[in-house]
Chain A
Amino acid sequence: MTYASWSKDEALLVLSQTRDKPGPVLISLQAIQSVFGFVPTPAVALIAEACNVSRAEVHGVLTFYSDLRTFLLPANHVRVCVAEACQAVGSRELVSGLKSQGVEFDKAFCFGNCALGPSATVNGKLQGRASVDSVVKAIQG
């Protein structure tokens, strides 16, 4: 995934499209993240101004939701489901296997693929019956 590098004008362009929507703060944050790959610090003040709320409010929303980030993701983003249905088919082993191979990943709670677990995503692409091998292969392209 390639993202734009920070530019105030680019951010304002995004916010001009979201600020008038009902309940604009969360959508604004989501839209900023989809353009820059994360929520850059200066965006918080811009969102606050555009949506006419305090910076604290924007910050509060930003820190509540686990999707929202203040840093750029690694080139290959791996997410592994660690919720119950995947635990039942070995997600704990998958997690420790990936760790021992030095693969970085985030834990996720459920991709709705609970009959075909363990589930993982590599750069957004969902894998059923995932294994250390299948994840590593997807990273290598």
Chain B
Amino acid sequence: MKTYTVYVPSDSASRSVGADDVANRIEFEALKRKLHVVLIRNGTRGALWLEPLVEVETALGRVAYGPVSLFDVPSLFDSHFYSGGDHRLSLGPTDEIEWLASQDRVTFARVGITDPLSIQDFEAHGGLVGLRKAISMKDNEVIDELTASGLRGRGGAGFPAGIKWRTVLQTESEKKYICCNADEGDSGTFADRILMEGDPFTLLEGMTIAGLTVGADEGVIYVRSEYPDAIRTLERAIVIARNYGWLGKNVLSSGRAFDIRIRSGAGSYVCGEETAMLESIEGKRGVVRSKPPLPAIEGLFGKPTVINNVLTLASVPMILADGASEYQRRGVGRSLGTQVFQLAGNVARGGIVEVAFGATLGALVEGYGGGTRTGRPMKAVQIGGPLGAYLPTTMFDISMDYESLLSAGGMLGHGGIVIFDETADMVDQARFAMEFCAEESCGKCTPCRLGSTRGAELLTLISQGKDVDGNKKVLLDLCEVMTDGSLCAMGGLTPLPVKSAMLHFESDFSSKNGELR
């Protein structure tokens, strides 16, 4: 009997719009029609507006259908979709979907293509090449390669990965750790999650390279509790990697040990800040530590620790496999390689857009994003999560890289872009920034702990039209105190969304004048 291979993503975004129902229905119809269908639950391709995206293997490669609902499945079978038949939902060969084909997938090269938990599939698509190469190289050479690639931290601060690793390598200690920051708390970001669910082995490979290179035998992935599917997938991947002779006492017969365990967060945004994360892994309250000492010197349980974001670590295997020059030929200025942008919020075509640094904001939100989902004119975008700036559509020609965004008064953060249409009230958005800070502050610094509550109160007064000018002045003073008097970026950058909203959307504020509500 002929075998047909069908892919339905198991990604939690796909499942949130019915992928499980579609998958079950496909198996049901196959049984009923006596067809032999092998169903693979892959990761998502990242074109989330097309989810659930169903693919089938054909002689001409994979072809796609989407977005598929439960009720489309019988007609898909009627059209022989399992051998690529034409249907109302046909999208053609997946590799030719312009939205995907025009991207430059490096870190996300395998996501959506492979079976997330098949190590054979992983290796067939270039997995473990980077680790094997790293094993054959001297530790310093690995770090030289990483430094030459220009890879910077993708968690927000953009610190060069090579320098961090070198510090840990050079710090003498009988015990060292690799900590992967998978707290991904920024609204508008989901790339870490999609990678962990769709290609977990790549993250494990990057961590293993880090461990062997700096001399750490233990890795911890700190995953937020809002990501139960990612935790489950990673746990399974770790067991598979141990059985394979990869994780454990003798990594791929190198004679060196490295193993990984998962720690689940417990619902705290500030635990994404690296030192609060360390406290949390140590089982304590997630209160931010003062630096120095740097975590690279005194980190987890006081030992030298590499802390990197999921995307930073997941980029390492490709860099070693293909060479630093292949990575750093992409990008602009000091922002080299690719950035995994995430289009979110009120967007027609949201999802993962991995392209070289230097694409314009407009190319991302209008080109890929296709404008708003509601069809109303765009008003604002917030880049870089809750601590990032609100920018107007007049700034769409700005180049998306670390330096350009900084000089435009914004920040790249983790690469999330949240789109708002004209109905957004920027006073409400500014107030939310303060409320969020009040909710999530670790409480160590007064300007952050108390200032955020005062800030939210002031913005409530402004939105009620009460002494708008006077309260705006007080608010700006308060922002200055928070910026100057906060230990970490939680209190230090909360003024960024507030002040950028005041600057670029002045009329939302001044129009409250005399509008006493």
Contacts and interface: CB of A to CB of B under 8 A. Distances in A.
Interface of A: 22-30, 51, 57, 60-61, 64-68, 81, 83-89, 108-117, 119, 124, 126-129
Contacts of B418: 84-85, 88, 114
Top 9 A-B pairs, shortest CB-CB distance: A115-B350, A23-B283, A83-B187, A88-B345, A128-B16, A114-B344, A65-B266, A67-B267, A66-B267
The main secondary structure of chain B at its interface with chain A is mixed
Interface residues of B, number: 59
A115 B267 contact: no
Contacts, number: 147
B12 interface: yes
A88 B424 contact: yes
Contacts of A88: 344-346, 418-421, 424
Nearest to A89: B346
B266 A26 contact: yes
Interface stretch (B123-131, B140-148, B188-196): B188-196
Interface of B: 12-13, 15-17, 48-49, 51, 184-190, 192-193, 225-228, 263-269, 280-286, 301, 342-347, 350-351, 373-374, 382, 386, 416, 418-421, 424, 429, 432, 436, 439-440
A110 B226 contact: yes
Contacts of A87: 345, 424, 429, 432
Given A65-B265, A116-B16, A116-B350, 18 more contacts: A22-B283, A23-B281, A26-B280, A26-B284, A51-B283, A61-B284, A64-B285, A85-B345, A88-B424, A89-B374, A109-B439, A112-B227, A113-B13, A115-B49, A115-B343, A116-B13, A116-B49, A126-B12
B17 A129 contact: yes
A128 B439 CA distance: 25
A26 B421 CA distance: 41
A85 B343 CA distance: 10
Contacts of B15: 126
18 contacts: A23-B282, A61-B283, A61-B285, A64-B268, A67-B225, A67-B267, A83-B386, A83-B436, A84-B382, A84-B386, A87-B345, A87-B432, A88-B345, A109-B440, A112-B189, A112-B226, A114-B350, A114-B416
